[in-house]
């Protein structure tokens, strides 16, 4: 009887053995749908049908009833660009426990919502938010907004002032006009850069750009989401949508409108937060002057009819996670006073 060639058989055996001992971290992560199908949120998720770019879209949101004695008020939480709305979990618990109804959407392009491929505008996002409030029969809400959500909150307060009772802006971006420091960057450059970002590089970007005082383990869920959506067949759509949100941040400044906001406004800033979208593309001499967020918040608050700014020293961009108890207490004190 003829024996099988030794070398191929040996290679097969070695490959099988090696696969069994590969560490889990070296294996490809399980793919995740670009609407985060399979990724659990802390509360049930509902969907509002919308339309954008001639396509049917779905806006995902959590609507959490008061857990304490209801006070008849509702708070709208608006997330940042790099985070799903699930990261609001500790804030939701604090607000609902104090008697507030809490509405927590994923804006189109983010989290469990649909991913439009056309250009983003804060006006359209504000209109989508108003549509959600209408669907939930909420005529007036308090708004707590983080990072990019702060830009949206400003536009919402300007476009629909009758719907906004008060504003809490947590480490908002858009406190300067990035066009003054950062040149235009084409989509092809952004798509290449974002597409090539590894898990390690993204983790480092979050920790350093946001000057986080948290351990890396606290942001791992966000790194995991980004890595897992790469395995989706619709990843190119996710990537285009994400890049479009950068173009909105760069090209649609709100800083010039902030002093015109009439609603009582509280800025809660991290003292270490120097985050400024587009900074890597700015000339070094201009990049060095970007991201003076606490300073900018104080200056803008002083120009508002009813604004104030507070700085949490030793904290970065994720104030509600880095100083959770203090943040929640200050938000509740502010809301209860308005």
Show me where the domains of the chain are located: 45-337
pLDDT at 20: 36
Taking only the tens place, the pLDDT of each residue in 123-141 is 999 999 999 999 999 999 9
| Residue ranges, the chain, pLDDT below 50 | 1-26
Q: How far apart are the first and last CA of the chain?
A: 90
pLDDT at 23: 41
pLDDT at 11: 38
Structural tokens at position 61: 């949101």
Q: How far is CA 246 from CA 194, 196, 285, in A?
A: 11, 16, 22
Structural tokens at position 32: 């995740």
pLDDT at 17: 33
CATH architecture of the domain with range 45-337: 3-Layer(aba) Sandwich (3.40)
Taking only the tens place, the pLDDT of each residue in 296-330 is 999 999 999 999 999 999 999 999 999 999 999 99
Q: What angle do CA 249, 332, 255 make, to 5 degrees?
A: 25
Within a 13 Å sphere around the CA of 16, how many CA atoms are in the beta-carbon half? 6
């Amino acid at each position: 009887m003829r024996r099988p060639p030794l070398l191929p058989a040996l290679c097969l055996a070695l490959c099988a053995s090696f696969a069994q001992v590969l560490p889990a971290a070296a294996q490809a992560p399980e793919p995740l749908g670009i609407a985060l199908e399979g990724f659990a949120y802390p509360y049930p998720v509902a969907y509002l049908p919308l339309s954008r770019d001639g396509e049917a879209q779905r806006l995902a949101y959590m609507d959490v009833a008061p857990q304490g004695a209801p006070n008849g008020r509702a708070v709208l939480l608006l997330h940042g660009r790099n985070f799903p709305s699930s990261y609001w979990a500790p804030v939701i618990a604090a607000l609902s426990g104090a008697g507030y109804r809490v509405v927590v959407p994923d804006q189109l392009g983010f989290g469990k919502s649909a991913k439009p491929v056309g250009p983003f505008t804060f006006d359209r996002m504000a209109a989508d938010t108003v549509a959600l409030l209408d669907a939930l029969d909420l005529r007036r809400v308090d708004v707590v907004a983080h990072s990019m959500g702060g830009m949206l909150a400003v536009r919402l307060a300007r476009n629909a002032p009758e719907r906004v009772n008060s504003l809490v802006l947590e480490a908002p971006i858009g406190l300067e006009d990035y066009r003054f420091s950062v040149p235009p960057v084409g989509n092809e450059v952004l798509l290449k850069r974002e597409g090539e970002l590894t898990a390690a590089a993204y983790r480092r970007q979050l920790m350093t750009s946001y000057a986080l005082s948290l351990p890396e383990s606290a942001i791992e869920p966000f790194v995991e989401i980004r890595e897992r959506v790469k395995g989706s067949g619709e990843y190119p759509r996710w990537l285009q949508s994400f890049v479009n949100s950068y173009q909105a941040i760069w090209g649609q400044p709100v800083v010039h409108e902030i002093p015109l906001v009439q609603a009582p406004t509280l800025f809660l800033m991290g003292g270490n937060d120097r985050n400024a979208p587009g900074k890597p593309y700015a000339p070094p001499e201009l990049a060095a002057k970007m991201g003076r967020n606490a300073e900018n918040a104080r200056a803008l608050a002083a120009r508002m009819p009813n604004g104030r700014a507070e700085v949490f020293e030793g904290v970065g961009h994720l104030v509600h996670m880095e100083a959770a108890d203090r943040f929640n207490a200050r938000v509740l004190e502010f809301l209860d006073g308005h």
